[in-house]
Amino acid sequence: MLEQSLEAKIAIMREAMGDVRTVGARTRPGMTKLMTELRTIVSMRDRRNASVLTEISDIERDMQRIDRFRSLIIGGFQQPAPGGFICRDARNNQTHVSLEQLEAEIASLETVAQRLLAV
């Protein structure tokens, strides 16, 4: 959903700048490519305003943190536990993930999506 929203935003920005080609005509680009393209378009649009580029960097950092958390959940799930579940990280350390942490990360992802579309 986030990728599709970002792809639509980039298409709108491209059209506003006079470029009418579609994003990823043959294959769907990943988030890294979409973020790079967004950064490029914004830097061309706002050459003297670096605050938007700083915001994009902050969004990318938050997305990487959320992706690491997602990888921990998907790749390291071990078993349910009271109030959450047990995971093992890349170093094989046992970690308890509470349901509150999971809900906070979901809310964080929604906030990142809103920030990204506001750029």
Per residue in 55-71, pLDDT tens? Answer: 888 998 999 999 999 99
* pLDDT at residue 9, rounded to an integer: 79
* pLDDT at residue 87, rounded to an integer: 95
Q: In terms of residue numbers, what domain contains 36?
A: 2-118
Low-confidence ranges of the chain (pLDDT < 70): 1, 17-28
* pLDDT at residue 98, rounded to an integer: 96
* pLDDT at residue 44, rounded to an integer: 78
* pLDDT at residue 62, rounded to an integer: 93
**Burial of residue 84, with CB atoms counted within 10 A of its CB: 0-12 exposed, 13-18 middle, 19 or more buried:** middle
* pLDDT at residue 22, rounded to an integer: 57
- Write the CA distances from 56 to 60, 63, 119, integer angstroms: 6, 10, 8
How many domains are there within the chain? 1
* pLDDT at residue 24, rounded to an integer: 53
* pLDDT at residue 6, rounded to an integer: 78
* pLDDT at residue 12, rounded to an integer: 78
Token pair 């680009």: residue: 29
* pLDDT at residue 1, rounded to an integer: 67
